[in-house]
Chain A
């Protein structure tokens, strides 16, 4: 393993300077493929459940329908890149509200800190997509080639018709899973039933086929072949996590003070007092999906999936020793137990100041986002004044300024909106599609559903008007009656009023 932390598992402290050694013969190491053994137990069953739920969410979500009326898509979760909208059940997010997504990402980050400080690498062990898909592919291995020993034998066997047939069958299943994974991904970006139809009739966008091809390839490569190599060599998370774990973090721990010195069952039966509880059956190693030996202590390859706990508990039950030789425990608990204390209940170890603080921060951001989401205005006005030229003198001495107004209707239905001038006495305005003879203090516009209406406003103020600030007010003419307003500057020639008045 590239890194190791020093733990109490090592009875003899490392000597400061060891013997000088010649340079290593191998700079590069051939990969030892991991063939984890089938195991059953509470943690394995929990892993099954998590896998079922996460995969169901991933594959199923795009097919959930959500009625938003005739002007918006009816897909519950949809990332509409073409129209720049993000739909999630009752929530619709516009590009200018991207801070919601940023907030969710911050929550996800703090959520990872929270989970890490409470239950260590639970994310790695149960819910990380790499873990879930690796697990899925390992079940395929088991289904096609048999359990650990059969797979090792088949790997070592020379290529023959039977091996070719088995491999072809297995890789076909890999490809189908990969394809299905890529296929589910694109459903989040378009109406799922329509896209499925278009995809199979060759009418979908080239990017859809490209995405499916890339994701099929990466799924098969990362889940089918790279597997634990991703966790050990590619993923930055184990490195970051090493910095976030402390003596109060739950990790999968081999209780060496109880297990060592290890010896086979026969030896232990002969001389019970000379041996610990570990009967060196290697079951913990053979079930490990990353192929490590947990008895070497906490290490970067351990994703804390707890399958070794299941394996060890099963063996301990068979040999009539108490369970928990390998168990979730904090370093603090280990010291406590080593000194002869009673094991503490798990909830006590989870609840400590750091987790509470993380939870409060996480919950605070979540509540803040919910509050912002609930109180946001669905009507919005943006004003841009023409700067070139800033003002225009008209024939009758009146002054005209031009503005580009953007009326934003965030409701999924067309709405009548009224835009009016507040301040600027005597001023009237007209817009590009109306005659300037019908200029007035306010203009009513129909803004299409879920859209931004851009309009030009030509504001004319009478002779003698000095440059001043005024306000545009946008009001939705429906039962909501939402308003938004914006300050604008009205420019006039320097000393215009004085010159005319003299």
Chain B
């Protein structure tokens, strides 16, 4: 026990400690304070009964209110679904070409598409949709099979070279070297020609002849590609498999036939619509009107879209 004593002016006992002449009085607590303390004890007992509280051997006590954090999450998800319902049904009813005119549905579609893209598409196309070797970059203005909304939607629904799907986008590039269609020298010549098309090398007249006989049927006489066959434009700066001589030679020798799943078999139509709108919005999407009647027009749309 320290030096407890009674403080003369107040008549109150001190707690018995002294710091440089400063002492503390042992003033009684106010009674309401202790009642408040008891009230918190009562509250905590009630809380333990109402909510999950005590750890037991395999699980904790459940609480009479039946509250669980998992249940709370389920409620939130349900509420979120209910909030989404309007946009989802609106998108289901609205033709694809009209969505852009509806600001509310458009932003819902973009948000939904972004989310669905992160789950389903990033594995090949990358989280920024920039693609990688063999997987197209969806931000640029090069489209193998068409870049307007409905072309993108078709690609999404039926995929590319999806086995067992009759509607899938389909074409086969022959393995010119491996299957003996062209000799090694001819392959080399045509590679020279292809490289010259985009200014990567000097012209090769022999290669041009080989190109005309073998490649022009799909890639077009001037090498600008043809979307009906998913044949890429060979004159531009974008190379899906790389622009080095080795890569182009490999492509001519062995052919490249990339695939994409038919998402119509896995995703619901509204999600696909959202994905099409999102991919179209990435900066390279083409105007809808340009591709209204693609017919058998040899020249792909907006081929002369040269910007400065």
A contacts, CB < 8 Å to B:
1-4, 6, 10, 12, 14-15, 17-21, 24, 26-31, 226, 229, 233, 296-297, 386-389, 392-398, 400, 402, 426, 428, 432, 435-437, 439, 456, 458, 460, 462-463, 500
Interface centre among B10, B34, B127, B141 (most CB of A within 10 A): B141
Decide if B7 is an interface residue (CB 8 Å cutoff). Answer: yes
Which residues of the other chain, A, contact B307 by a CB distance below 8 angstroms?
A: 394, 396, 398, 428, 436-437, 439, 460
B237 and A394 within 8 A (CB): yes
**Are A394 and B141 also in contact (CB < 8 A) when A1-B10, A435-B287, A439-B307 are?**
yes
How many Å lie between the Cα of A394 and that of B307 in the bound state?
10
Which B284-308 residues have C-beta < 8 A from chain A? 284, 287, 305-308
Encode contact with A along B100-143: 1 for CB under 8 Å, 0 otherwise. Answer: 00000000000000000000000000111110000001011110
**Are A395 and B31 also in contact (CB < 8 A) when A24-B13, A389-B128 are?**
no
Which stretch of B20-28, B64-72, B89-97, B260-268 is in the interface? Answer: B20-28
Which B23-39 residues have C-beta < 8 A from chain A? 24-34
How many Å lie between the Cα of A297 and that of B130 in the bound state?
78
Decide if B40 is an interface residue (CB 8 Å cutoff). Answer: no
Q: Which of A24, A31, A226, A396 contacts B236 (CB 8 A)?
A: A396
Decide if B8 is an interface residue (CB 8 Å cutoff). Answer: yes
Minimum CB distance partner of B305 in chain A: A437
B29 and A28 within 8 A (CB): yes
B4 and A20 within 8 A (CB): yes
Q: 13 pairs across A/B with beta carbons < 8 Å?
A: A1-B10, A1-B27, A15-B5, A18-B7, A20-B4, A28-B34, A297-B9, A389-B139, A392-B139, A393-B140, A394-B140, A395-B142, A396-B307
Decide if B213 is an interface residue (CB 8 Å cutoff). Answer: no
Which residues of the other chain, A, contact B5 by a CB distance below 8 angstroms?
A: 15, 17-21
Which residues of the other chain, B, contact A426 by a CB distance below 8 angstroms?
A: 308
Decide if B46 is an interface residue (CB 8 Å cutoff). Answer: no
B30 and A29 within 8 A (CB): yes
**Are A2 and B27 also in contact (CB < 8 A) when A297-B9, A392-B139, A460-B307 are?**
yes
Which residues of the other chain, B, contact A296 by a CB distance below 8 angstroms?
A: 9-10
How many Å lie between the Cα of A218 and that of B150 in the bound state?
62
Which residues of the other chain, B, contact A428 by a CB distance below 8 angstroms?
A: 307-308
Encode contact with A along B150-189: 1 for CB under 8 Å, 0 otherwise. Answer: 0000000000000000000000000000000000000000
How many Å lie between the Cα of A229 and that of B31 in the bound state?
11
Question: On chain B, which size bracket covers the interface?
Answer: 35 or more
Decide if B44 is an interface residue (CB 8 Å cutoff). Answer: no
How many Å lie between the Cα of A396 and that of B237 in the bound state?
6
**Are A400 and B25 also in contact (CB < 8 A) when A28-B30, A436-B307 are?**
no
Given contacts A226-B32, A392-B139, 16 further A-B contacts (CB under 8 A): A4-B10, A4-B25, A19-B6, A20-B5, A24-B26, A28-B29, A28-B33, A29-B28, A29-B29, A233-B30, A394-B307, A396-B236, A396-B237, A397-B236, A402-B283, A460-B307
B104 CB → nearest A CB, Å: 15
Decide if B58 is an interface residue (CB 8 Å cutoff). Answer: no
Overall SS of chain B's interface: loop
Which residues of the other chain, B, contact A432 by a CB distance below 8 angstroms?
A: 281
B233 and A395 within 8 A (CB): yes
Which residues of the other chain, A, contact B287 by a CB distance below 8 angstroms?
A: 435
Which residues of the other chain, B, contact A393 by a CB distance below 8 angstroms?
A: 140, 237-238
B283 and A2 within 8 A (CB): no
Which residues of the other chain, A, contact B137 by a CB distance below 8 angstroms?
A: 389, 392
B114 CB → nearest A CB, Å: 12
Minimum CB distance partner of A426 in chain B: B308
Decide if B3 is an interface residue (CB 8 Å cutoff). Answer: yes
B6 and A2 within 8 A (CB): no
A395 and B30 within 8 A (CB): no
Minimum CB distance partner of B35 in chain A: A28
Q: Which of B32, B34, B141, B233 contacts A229 (CB 8 A)?
A: B32
A465 CB → nearest B CB, Å: 12
Which residues of the other chain, B, contact A400 by a CB distance below 8 angstroms?
A: 139-140, 283
B124 CB → nearest A CB, Å: 15
Q: Which of B6, B24, B34, B127 contacts A388 (CB 8 A)?
A: B127
Minimum CB distance partner of B239 in chain A: A393
A462 and B28 within 8 A (CB): no
Q: Which of B3, B6, B10, B130 contacts A389 (CB 8 A)?
A: B130
Minimum CB distance partner of B23 in chain A: A14
Minimum CB distance partner of B29 in chain A: A28
How many Å lie between the Cα of A394 and that of B10 in the bound state?
88
Which residues of the other chain, A, contact B3 by a CB distance below 8 angstroms?
A: 17
A418 CB → nearest B CB, Å: 21
A4 and B130 within 8 A (CB): no
Encode contact with A along B231-266: 1 for CB under 8 Å, 0 otherwise. Answer: 001001110000000000000000000000000000
B129 CB → nearest A CB, Å: 8
A31 and B308 within 8 A (CB): no
Minimum CB distance partner of B8 in chain A: A14
A399 CB → nearest B CB, Å: 9
How many Å lie between the Cα of A233 and that of B28 in the bound state?
12
**Are A396 and B306 also in contact (CB < 8 A) when A17-B5, A458-B283 are?**
yes
Interface centre among B130, B142, B199 (most CB of A within 10 A): B130
Closest 7 pairs between A and B when the two form their complex, measured CB to CB: A18-B5, A388-B128, A389-B130, A395-B236, A397-B237, A29-B28, A389-B128
A222 CB → nearest B CB, Å: 12
Which residues of the other chain, B, contact A14 by a CB distance below 8 angstroms?
A: 7-8
B130 and A392 within 8 A (CB): yes
